[in-house]
Amino acid sequence: MKTSSISLRVADFLKGYPPFNFIEEEYLLRLAGSGKVKFHEDGELVFEEGKKRDKVFYVIQQGTVNMYRKIGGSEELTDVRVEGNLLGIFWGSLDEHYQATARTASETILYALPIDQLVEIAHKTPPVKAFLSAYYSPNPSAADVSEGIAEAPSDWLQRTEAVRERSNRNLLTAHPNDPVRKVARQMAPGNQEAVIVVDDMRCPLGVVTESDLSGRVASGEIPVDAPASELMSSPVETVPPGLNVGQLILRMLNRRVHHLVITADGSANSPVLGVVAERDLALLHGRLPTMLTNEIKVARGPESLAAARNRADELLLHYLDTEAPISWIADYIAEIDNTLTERAIELARQKLAAQGRRGPGMPFCWMSFHSEGRRERLLRSPQRSGIVFADPEEGNGEAASYYFVELAREVSNTLEICGFPKEARDLRADNPRWCRPLSEWKEHYSNLIANPIENDILRQTPFFDMRAISGDFQLEADLQEHIRSELKAQPNFVPLLANDAMANLPPVTIFRDSVMDKSGILWTCIDTKVHILYPLVDMTRVLALEHGLAETASTVARLRLLTELLPEHAAQLGEAIDAVYFGLHLQTTFGLRRGDDGQFIRPGDLGLIERERIKTAFRTVAQMLDYTSQHFGLKSAVQPA
Amino acid sequence: MSLFGPDDAISVYRESFDDTWADGTPAERVRFVVLDTETTGLDPKKDAIVTIGAVTVQNNEILLEDQFEALLRFRYNTSAVVVHGITREAAEEEGVDEVEALRDFLGYLRDGVIVGHHIGFDVEILREHIMRRFGQDLENRWLDTMELTLHLEDSGAFGTPPDDDEDVDERGRDFSLDGLCARFGIKPHDRHTAAGDAFITAQVFLKLLRLANRFGRRTLGTLCERYVEA
Contact A33 B67 (CB under 8 A): yes
Residue in A closest to B204 by C-alpha: A39
- Give B 13-72 residues with CB within 8 A of chain A: 53, 55, 60-70
**DSSP letter, residue A157:** G
- Based on the fold, state whether residues A429 and A461 are members of the same structural domain: yes
Band of pLDDT at residue A286, cut at 50, 70 and 90: very low
Contact B64 A33 (CB under 8 A): yes
Question: What integer best gives the mean pLDDT of chain A?
Answer: 82
- Based on the fold, state whether residues A480 and A499 are members of the same structural domain: no
Question: What integer best gives the mean pLDDT of chain B?
Answer: 85
Which residues does A34 contact at the CB level (< 8 Å), separation at least 6? Answer: A113, A114, A117, B64, B65
- Based on the fold, state whether residues A76 and A15 are members of the same structural domain: yes
Q: Which among B60, B195, B207 is the nearest to A6, CB-wise? A: B195
Q: Is the pLDDT of residue B146 over 60?
A: yes
Residue in B closest to A10 by C-alpha: B64
**C-alpha triplet A568, A571, A575: angle, nearest 5°:** 140
* Chain B hits for A39, Cβ within 8 Å: 60, 203, 206-207, 210
Residue A323's pLDDT is what?
A: 67
Contact A5 B193 (CB under 8 A): yes
- Based on the fold, state whether residues A485 and A504 are members of the same structural domain: no
**CA dihedral angle for residue B70, residue B76, residue B82, residue B83, rounded to 10 degrees:** -40
- Residue B108 in contact with partner chain A when CB distance is under 8 A: yes
Q: How many CB atoms lie within 10 A of CB A70?
A: 12
| Structural contact between residues A235 and A257, judged by C-beta atoms closer than 8 angstroms | no
Cα(B25)–Cα(B219) distance, integer angstroms: 5
Interface test with B, best of A4, A13, A28, A37 (most B CBs within 10 A): A37
The chain A residues in contact with chain B (CB within 8 A) are 1-7, 9-10, 12, 32-39, 41, 62, 107, 109, 112
Average the pLDDT over each of A104-113, A285-294, A410-419, B101-110 and give the range with the smallest value. A285-294
Cα(B6)–Cα(A14) distance, integer angstroms: 35
Residue B6's pLDDT is what?
A: 53
Interface test with A, best of B28, B35, B62 (most A CBs within 10 A): B62
Band of pLDDT at residue B171, cut at 50, 70 and 90: very low
Q: What is the CATH number of the domain that holds A230?
A: 3.10.580.10
Residue B63's pLDDT is what?
A: 95
Question: Considering only CA atoms, which of A446, A439, A447, A449 is closest in space to residue A401?
Answer: A439
Cα(B117)–Cα(B204) distance, integer angstroms: 10
Question: Is A275 inside a domain boundary?
Answer: yes
- Based on the fold, state whether residues A377 and A475 are members of the same structural domain: yes
| Structural contact between residues B30 and B13, judged by C-beta atoms closer than 8 angstroms | no
| Structural contact between residues B145 and B87, judged by C-beta atoms closer than 8 angstroms | no
CA dihedral for A207, A212, A214, A217, sign (positive or negative): negative
Question: Is A343 inside a domain boundary?
Answer: yes
Residue B33's pLDDT is what?
A: 97
Q: What is the CATH number of the domain that holds A322?
A: 3.30.460.10
Mean pLDDT, range A90-112, rounded to an integer: 83
CA dihedral for A13, A18, A22, A24, sign (positive or negative): negative
* Chain B hits for A60, Cβ within 8 Å: none
Interface contacts (A, B; CB < 8 Å) = 79
Band of pLDDT at residue A361, cut at 50, 70 and 90: confident
Average the pLDDT over each of A314-318, A337-341, A523-527 and give the range with the smallest value. A314-318
* Chain B hits for A5, Cβ within 8 Å: 53, 67, 69, 193, 195-196
Contact A39 B193 (CB under 8 A): no
Q: Is A108 helix (H, G, I), strand (E, B) or coil?
A: strand
H or E stretch at A296: helix A289-298
Instruction: List Cα–Cα distances, A66 to A19, A30, A54, A513, in angstroms.
Output: 21, 29, 18, 17
Alpha carbons within 13 angstroms on the beta-carbon side of residue A449 total 22
Number of independent structural domains in chain A:
4
What spatial distance separates the first Cα and last Cα of chain B, rounded to whole Å? 43
Q: What is the CATH number of the domain that holds A549?
A: 1.20.120
Residue A143's pLDDT is what?
A: 36
| Structural contact between residues A372 and A333, judged by C-beta atoms closer than 8 angstroms | no
> Which carries the bigger pLDDT value, residue B209 or residue A396?
B209
> Which carries the bigger pLDDT value, residue A28 or residue A192?
A28
Cα(B5)–Cα(A309) distance, integer angstroms: 70
Q: Is A194 helix (H, G, I), strand (E, B) or coil?
A: strand
Cα(B72)–Cα(B194) distance, integer angstroms: 12
Q: Is the pLDDT of residue B211 over 90?
A: yes
* Chain A hits for B95, Cβ within 8 Å: none
Residue A53 domain boundaries: 5-139
CA dihedral for A42, A44, A50, A52, sign (positive or negative): negative
Question: Is A329 inside a domain boundary?
Answer: yes
- Based on the fold, state whether residues A306 and A438 are members of the same structural domain: yes
Residue in B closest to A39 by C-alpha: B206
Band of pLDDT at residue A4, cut at 50, 70 and 90: low
- Based on the fold, state whether residues A484 and A500 are members of the same structural domain: no
Residue A166's pLDDT is what?
A: 53
Contact B64 A39 (CB under 8 A): no
Question: Is A639 inside a domain boundary?
Answer: no
Q: Which of A465, A489, A513 is the last residue of a domain?
A: A489
Cα(A310)–Cα(A627) distance, integer angstroms: 41
- Residue B1 in contact with partner chain A when CB distance is under 8 A: yes
Q: Is the pLDDT of residue A608 over 80?
A: no
Q: Is the pLDDT of residue B180 over 50?
A: yes
Which residues does A547 contact at the CB level (< 8 Å), separation at least 6? Answer: A561, A562, A565
Contact A9 B65 (CB under 8 A): no
How close is the nearest chain B Cα to the Cα of A126, in Å?
27
- Based on the fold, state whether residues A214 and A305 are members of the same structural domain: no
Which CATH number among 3.30.365.10, 3.40.50.300, 3.30.420.10, 3.90.550.10 corresponds to the domain B8-224? 3.30.420.10
Q: Is the pLDDT of residue A141 over 50?
A: no
Model pTM score:
0.51
Contact B104 A2 (CB under 8 A): yes
Residue in A closest to B101 by C-alpha: A2
Residue B110's pLDDT is what?
A: 95
Q: Which of A286, A316, A342 is the last residue of a domain?
A: A286
Question: Is A279 inside a domain boundary?
Answer: yes
* Chain B hits for A38, Cβ within 8 Å: 60-62, 206
- Based on the fold, state whether residues A304 and A438 are members of the same structural domain: yes
- Based on the fold, state whether residues A100 and A211 are members of the same structural domain: no
Question: Is A640 inside a domain boundary?
Answer: no
Cα(A136)–Cα(B137) distance, integer angstroms: 52
Q: How many CB atoms lie within 10 A of CB B1?
A: 17
Contact B203 A109 (CB under 8 A): yes
| Structural contact between residues A365 and A438, judged by C-beta atoms closer than 8 angstroms | no
| Structural contact between residues B58 and B28, judged by C-beta atoms closer than 8 angstroms | yes
Whole-number CA gyration radius for chain B: 18
Residue in A closest to B184 by C-alpha: A107
User: Helix crossing, A473-489 with A438-450: angle to 10°?
Assistant: 30
* Chain A hits for B185, Cβ within 8 Å: 62, 107
Residue B5's pLDDT is what?
A: 52
Mean pLDDT, range A466-487, rounded to an integer: 93
Band of pLDDT at residue A155, cut at 50, 70 and 90: very low
Residue B79's pLDDT is what?
A: 61
Q: Which of A455, A489, A523 is the last residue of a domain?
A: A489
Contact B1 A2 (CB under 8 A): yes
* Chain A hits for B68, Cβ within 8 Å: 2-3
How close is the nearest chain B Cα to the Cα of A7, in Å?
7
Contact B108 A2 (CB under 8 A): yes
Mean pLDDT, range A154-173, rounded to an integer: 57
* Chain A hits for B67, Cβ within 8 Å: 1-3, 5-7, 33
Residue in B closest to A13 by C-alpha: B189
Residue in A closest to B211 by C-alpha: A41
pLDDT of B1-48, one tens digit each? 444 455 688 889 999 999 999 999 999 999 999 999 998 888 998 888
Contact A9 B63 (CB under 8 A): no
Which residues does A546 contact at the CB level (< 8 Å), separation at least 6? Answer: A494, A498
Contact B64 A107 (CB under 8 A): no
Mean pLDDT, range B151-171, rounded to an integer: 65
Question: Is A510 inside a domain boundary?
Answer: yes
Residue in A closest to B189 by C-alpha: A9
Q: Is A548 helix (H, G, I), strand (E, B) or coil?
A: coil
H or E stretch at B65: strand B61-71
Of the spans A80-89, A604-613, B131-140, which averages the highest pLDDT? B131-140
Residue A619's pLDDT is what?
A: 86
| Structural contact between residues A278 and A285, judged by C-beta atoms closer than 8 angstroms | no
Question: Is A570 inside a domain boundary?
Answer: yes
Contact A112 B61 (CB under 8 A): yes
Largest Cα–Cα distance of chain A, in whole Å?
95
Question: Considering only CA atoms, which of B127, B132, B108, B137 is closest in space to residue B198?
Answer: B108
Q: Which among B63, B199, B210 is the nearest to A9, CB-wise? A: B199
Q: Which among B61, B184, B195 is the nearest to A36, CB-wise? A: B61
Band of pLDDT at residue A92, cut at 50, 70 and 90: low
Question: Phi/psi of residue A67, each to 5°?
Answer: -110, 135
Mean pLDDT, range A382-393, rounded to an integer: 93
What spatial distance separates the first Cα and last Cα of chain A, rounded to whole Å? 47
Cα(A286)–Cα(A427) distance, integer angstroms: 39
* Chain B hits for A15, Cβ within 8 Å: none
| Structural contact between residues A309 and A418, judged by C-beta atoms closer than 8 angstroms | yes
- Cβ neighbourhood burial of A429 (10 Å; 0-12, 13-18, 19+): buried
Which residues does A76 contact at the CB level (< 8 Å), separation at least 6? Answer: A68, A69, A70
Contact A34 B1 (CB under 8 A): no
Band of pLDDT at residue A154, cut at 50, 70 and 90: very low
- Give B 183-202 residues with CB within 8 A of chain A: 184-187, 189-190, 193, 195-196, 198-199, 202
Contact A3 B70 (CB under 8 A): yes
> Which carries the bigger pLDDT value, residue B91 or residue A107?
A107
